[in-house]
Chains A and B, each alone.
Chain A
């Protein structure tokens, strides 16, 4: 299990390499990137803030839950970025390897979906004329 939180650009190839496994017939990767607009407003950049200790603990726990649901999982890697990101930057990478492809799709989706619900990381969208903490208000 390879879990990381970093304020440096994510090396996607390195994350992929970390899930290589001789027992795997499939590697599935999700890459989350910074989009140039949100609800019709032009986004200039994103600022990610993390509660590092808890974020790492929760990312580890999500990976463990995935391993319980898909015991055939060979390797799991999750790397999340924090700090200031520009349009197009990679914010998160999830990679899993499994013997067969169907499980790799399911496990990868479960991990990214659950991370978005439980991991204490917050993004602030900066626009040309203001900024908003995403999801903070109804």
Chain B
């Protein structure tokens, strides 16, 4: 399936774009997607952490992604 992932902060700099189009196996889990991203962009491994947001909420590792999910890569937040 095809996914579109919004990117912010340092993740945007690492990928070099504010959004990423990615093809993944159907029913890819969040953990699987994160591993796919780390493989494609090794600099992500150097971050303190990163999370995946699905439809404006933090997703758990075992969540199975769907093609129409609104996805974003969330590097360590630093608001306030």
Contacts and interface: CB of A to CB of B under 8 A. Distances in A.
Interface residues of A, number: 30
Contacts of A138: 48
Q: Is the interface of A mostly helix, strand, loop or mixed?
A: mixed
Contacts of B47: 136-137
A40 B77 CA distance: 21
A132 B58 CA distance: 24
Interface residues of B, number: 20
A53 B56 contact: yes
Contacts of B48: 135-138
A134 B75 CA distance: 10
Interface stretch (A16-24, A97-105, A111-119): A111-119
Ranked nearest first, the 8 interchain pairs of A and B with the lowest CB-CB distance are A121-B79, A122-B9, A134-B78, A54-B56, A116-B80, A133-B10, A57-B56, A135-B76
Interface of A: 32, 48-51, 53-55, 57-58, 80, 91-92, 112, 115-124, 133-138
